[in-house]
Structure 1
Amino acid sequence: MREPTHTYTSAKVVLELLQRRISHPRIKEVIDEVEALQSLGPNHILMVTGPTGVGKTTLAHSLLTRILKSHADAMQQDAGLIPVLLIEARATSEAEFNWKLFYADILEQLEVTPGMPAGVEYGVDPHTNRVYRPSGRSKNTAAGLRKKVERALQHRGVKVLMIDEGGHFTNVSEVRMKRQTDALKSLSNCAGCQIILFGSYDILSISRLSAQLARRIKEIHFARYRSDSIDDTLVFERVLQRIEHDAQGFFGGLLLENAKLLHANTLGCVGTLMDVVRGFASRAQHADAVTQDLLERCLLTEGQHIAILEEIRQGELRFESEFVKSGKARKVA
């Protein structure tokens, strides 16, 4: 039985380090594909989808940073320019998707700060320099907020509207889902901005609702690192090496020793891996030691593993034709 490994770096420091988003090759691959398709313009919705825990939120933030850097000069010249927004499609206790909340979240991000030019045309108070929300019933409807959002996006020069947790648009009937997706497509057209929707495999049903949506939605697969691929296995191990390095010896090489176990248990999803590692570090902090037993307690349970694997099987089948065309048809593992 492995002896407890006493740590060289405090668990508190390691837990802080583990809150940082970790970049890896799959993120770069997806960003390259997104950038290649952005030239399609506002008439298309880019839909980035992958397994639960693959790292879609990390990808969204990486893309956000990249777009902001590409517009840095223009933003210096125009203090009111906001080239990209990242919004979460928030879930509520309501049966329907809350469009008023969604529009309000967008308007909140488009509020200006002192010194920035006010866009009076779309409801910015010239005295306070903040987005003006009238109290009248007619302008606080979803339709009224929608019009305000369109104008705000136009005047702020928003080129890309990224929406995380896109699955919250799909928790309705197909009729309502189509209506909601049409509303997003219309917002993209009217505001002149590209929409990028992030979500798990459940959002794939959106592009099959009609021929028009099938043509206008471009699916981008954010794939996991598969255990039946030598290249994927090597990359996953390099991710573990990076975590071990950043943790400055805290894990004592235990993560790399358990590379196969971690790869199989987390199904090659880096986001899930980071959840397991953070839980491990937290338990190690409490126990003041790093042990095999503590690591194994942090793994996905059999029930969790089965549920995630089933979602992956169904989702990856949608992209199976791509594997076949490239001569890389594989068994899901």
Structure 2
Amino acid sequence: MQISFEQALHGSPTEKGAYLRSLRFMHRNLQSVMDEVQRHMTPFAGLSTTIVVGPTGVGKSTFSALQAELLLKLNEVEIREDPGAIPVVLNEVDAADGKEINWSLFYQHLLQDLHTVCPDFPIGATNSEGKAIDVVKSYRLMFESALRERKVRHLILDEAVHFADSTTEPLQYGNLLKSLANRTNMNLLLVGAYRSEMLVKASGQLGRRIGVVHFPRYHDNQDDFDAFTKFIKEFAEHIPLPFKVDLSKYVMHLFTAHFGLPGWAAETLIAAVNQCASEGSEKWKDEYVINACPSPEAYDSVSLETLEGEANVERYLKSPRPRTYPTEDEMRARLVARKANGGHGKGAAR
């Protein structure tokens, strides 16, 4: 249940945190990503697939929720006319179990999101002819049927990096795309941390279908700092405490300590609000922000991972400038080298 400002104001520290996490603050980079995704998610026919990739703490889950809300609003008329329709589905991909995606569980969760009865196949289940049931295929066919029944046109999969981090064979991704491609004007949106873009490499079939959109952090320049400052000021206006909190004096420190990542900075501020509320303080103290800021080790980990991700994602992005592509002979040489290396590159996360 959505918590109101008044409820959070008079509620517990936990309720204050829940309220702040439920808010969706639009900021420049988030708006830019939403605009670009909207262009990608307008197919002429068939399946349109887009990956939104960015660093930890940039606000990808907020983007996913906002995108789902936007698409639901655009389909309000259809939902009113057909209450059984579910044109937009937002699902979070579970982490790989032993480096392998549990596809049975994946399809079960999607079926649950589609409010579809999902049978539980016992281990060793057989059909009427005594043959072993292909459980993944059975769930996938149910999913295809549910897509038609619920008139799904937009599937958003958050935490898509779990796909890229797994050792799942490209065939399973191909089967998923095949199921979605059976729907006219179907949009698949994958959202994940850096490395999610590597799904493009899973197979040629996937590579042709996927467009990659980068959700960047705010960098160390005046325009980006101003956009980050605007985000922090808007956050401050919604803090559910019985007094106004001026965060302007902390903006530079928050920008630096969180490497320009607005979502990460917001989590720090929520922790600061929690401490203030837990103490029952009648005024804001500098120590609340200082205590909540990341440790040097956390900063090093996130910043280095972000820099590496920014460098690696470049080759997956389209460029306004002409690119130079390898010749056929150069690609043949790469193919020979790949085979000599044991065929690595077949999976998504090699």
Are the aligned partners of 2:194 and 2:313 in contact in 1 as well (CA < 8 Å)? no
- Identify which of 3, 20, 24 aligns with 1:18: 20
Q: Confirm whether residue 76 of structure 1 aligns to residue 80 of structure 2.
A: yes
AA matched with 1:145 = Y
In structure 1, what is the equivalent of residue 232 of structure 2? 240
- Identify which of 25, 48, 59 aligns with 2:63: 59
- Identify which of 78, 96, 107 aligns with 2:100: 96
Pair 251,210 (structure 1): closer, same or farther in 2 beyond 3 Å: farther
AA matched with 1:34 = V
Question: Structure 2 length as normaliser, TM-score?
Answer: 0.77
Offset at residue 296 of structure 1 (A): 1.2
Unaligned segments of structure 1, at least 5 residues: 1-8, 112-129, 327-333
Pair 222,73 (structure 1): closer, same or farther in 2 beyond 3 Å: same
In structure 2, what is the equivalent of residue 118 of structure 1? none
Supply the distance in 2 between the matched residues of 1:300 and 1:70 (Cα, whole angstroms). 39
- Identify which of 170, 178, 182 aligns with 2:170: 178
Offset at residue 93 of structure 1 (A): 4.5
In structure 2, what is the equivalent of residue 31 of structure 1? 34
Supply the distance in 2 between the matched residues of 1:167 and 1:324 (Cα, whole angstroms). 23
AA matched with 1:202 = R
Matches within 5 A, 1:1-333: 12=13, 14-25=16-27, 26-40=29-43, 41-91=45-95, 93-111=97-115, 131=117, 133=119, 137-138=126-127, 141-173=135-167, 176=168, 178-192=170-184, 193-226=186-219, 228-247=220-239, 253-289=245-281, 290-318=284-312, 320=314
Supply the distance in 2 between the matched residues of 1:177 and 1:265 (Cα, whole angstroms). 39
SS class of match (1:194): strand
AA matched with 1:43 = L
Pair 268,180 (structure 1): closer, same or farther in 2 beyond 3 Å: farther
Offset at residue 248 of structure 1 (A): 6.1
Which stretch of the first structure deviates more once superposed, 178-187 or 51-60? 178-187
Q: RMSD of the alignment, in Å?
A: 2.6
Offset at residue 131 of structure 1 (A): 2.3
Supply the distance in 2 between the matched residues of 1:324 and 1:44 (Cα, whole angstroms). 20
Percent of matched pairs sharing the same residue: 24
Pair 19,152 (structure 1): closer, same or farther in 2 beyond 3 Å: same
Supply the distance in 1 between the matched residues of 2:138 and 2:19 (Cα, whole angstroms). 44
Pair 319,92 (structure 1): closer, same or farther in 2 beyond 3 Å: closer
Pair 295,149 (structure 1): closer, same or farther in 2 beyond 3 Å: same
Question: Structure 1 length as normaliser, TM-score?
Answer: 0.80
